[in-house]
Amino acid sequence: MASTRAASIQPKTAAFSPNGKAFSSPKRKDLLTVEHLPLETVLHLLDRSDHYVKFLEAPGPFQKLKILEGRTIANLFFEASTRTRTSFELAERRLGADVISLTPAVSSLAKGESILDTIRVLEAMKIDAFVIRHNVSGVPGFLASRLPHNLHVVNAGDGVHEHPTQALLDAAEMRAALGSLSGKHVAIVGDILHSRVARSNAWLLAKLGAKVTFVGPDTLMPRNVAAVFGVDTTNNLDSILDTADAVMMLRIQMERQARGFFPSIEEYREEYGMTPERMSRSTALILHPGPINHGVEIETEAAYGERSLVLRQVRRGVAVRMAVMEWLFSNEV
C-alpha cells in the first residue's frame, strides 16, 4: 500500500538539480545561479541597475513605481540577514509589489522537509515570486524544481554555493568605477572555502572578461578551485597589490579559527588584512560585501577611504535587486 502511495506522489522526473538547470522550462524565469546566467542577461541587469541607481539618487521625495503592481513577493530568509533582506524588500516595494518577509526559524538541517511545506503553503496563498536565502547549498534550486513554472525564484544566497545579486551589484559598481571589466584584474581575499560571494563573483567576472585571483590560506581554499573557476590562486596578498584593479575583502567568520582553519586572528590580519600600509602600495578599489569586521580583514580607514566602494555597494544592492525583480516579470531574456 505504501509503495502505491509513494508512486503517486513521486515526480516522474529525476530528483532536483542543485542549480535548478534540469528543471528550467523555456518559459521559466528564475535567478538561481550566476554560473548559468547568459551574458546577455547579465548586461541587461547591469544596465538596468545603472538606471535605477540614478533613480535612487534623484533628490526629493521618492516616487513609487507601478511596474510590479498587483504582484506579491515572499522573501524567505531561512538564514538571518538584515541587510540583504532589507535591500530586497526596498527594491520590491519601490517597484510597487506587495511584499511579505518571513524568517522561519530553522534550528537544524533535519528540518529540511518543512521547507518544502512552507513554500507549498505560501504558493497556495498565491505568491508570484519567492526570494530565498538558506544556509544549505542548492535549496533555492530544489524549491524551484518543485514549484509550478509560472512562479519565479530568486536565490538570495544558498550555503556556500552562490549569491547572484551580490555578484551583480559588485560587478555593476566595479564597472561604473573602472569603465569596463574587460582585461581588469580583481582579487578576492579571504575565506574562499566558505564563500558563496567568491563563487558567484568568479563566474560573473569571467563572463565580463576580467581576470580573477583568489587570495587566502590553503586551509580556506576549496579543492580544485583554480580548475573549477578558471582563476589564479595565491597565498600572498602583497603579490597582487600592484596589479589588482579591485580588491574584494571577504568577511572572516571568527568561529573558523576555533575550527582550526587558521592559527589566530592576529596572524590572519597580518597575512590577509587590508591595512593602511597595504592600501598605500596599491591603487585598487576596495570592496567588501559586509558586514565588516573592523580591524580584522579590513581596517576602518580602508573600508571607508576614498577608493572604497563599500557604501556604494549597499546602494547598488537595491538598484540591482530592482533590476532583477523587474526582469523576472518582463519579456526580457
Partner 1 sequence: MNLVLQNARVIDPVRKLDEISDLEISDGKISRIGTALTSTFERRDLNGAVIAPGFFDMHVHFREPGFEYKETIESGLDAAMAGGFTGVCCMPNTQPAISDPFVVSYIRERAAGHLVALEICGTMTNGRGGEELSPMAALAKAGVRMVSDDGAAVRSAEVMRRVFEYAKMYDLLVTQHCEEHALTHGAVMNEGMVSTRLGLPGWPAVAEDIIIARDILLAEYIGNVRYHVAHVSTRGGVRLVREAKARGLVVSCEVTPHHFTLTDRAVEELGTNAKMCPPLRTSDDVDAIIEGLRDGTIDAIATDHAPHALHEKETDLASAAMGIIGLETAIPLGLTHLVGAGKLTLSQFIERSSIAPRRLLGLRPASISIGEPANLTMFDPAKQWRFEESDIRSKSHNTPFLGTEFTGKVLGVVSNGQAHFL
Among the candidate windows 119-127, 155-163, 211-219, 322-330, which touches partner 1 by CB under 8 A? 155-163
Which residues have CB under 8 Å from 237's CB, separation 6+? 187, 189, 215, 271, 272, 278
* Interatomic CA distance for residues 241 and 185, integer angstroms: 10
* Interatomic CA distance for residues 215 and 201, integer angstroms: 14
Is residue 241 within 8 A of residue 272, CB to CB? The reply is no
Question: What character string, x for contact with partner 1 (CB under 8 A) and - otherwise, covers 253-292?
Answer: ----------------------------------------
Residues 173-212 that bind partner 1 (CB under 8 A): 196, 199
Among the candidate windows 49-57, 104-112, 124-132, 248-256, which touches partner 1 by CB under 8 A? 104-112
Under rule CB under 8 A, residue 105 binds partner 1? no
* Interatomic CA distance for residues 185 and 163, integer angstroms: 21
Under rule CB under 8 A, residue 157 binds partner 1? no
Phi and psi at residue 102, to the nearest 5°? -125, 140
Under rule CB under 8 A, residue 228 binds partner 1? yes
> CA–CA distance from 28 to each of 18, 31, 66, 76, 132 (Å)?
16, 10, 23, 20, 17
Beta bridge partners of 155: 132
Q: Minimum distance from CB of 307 to partner 1 (Å)?
A: 30
Under rule CB under 8 A, residue 104 binds partner 1? no
Under rule CB under 8 A, residue 25 binds partner 1? no
Of the candidates 86, 98, 176, 222, which one interacts with partner 1 according to CB under 8 A? 222
Report the interface residues with partner 1, using CB under 8 A.
Answer: 2-3, 6-7, 9-10, 14-19, 21-22, 35, 109-113, 115-116, 134, 136-139, 142, 158-162, 196, 199, 222-225, 227-229
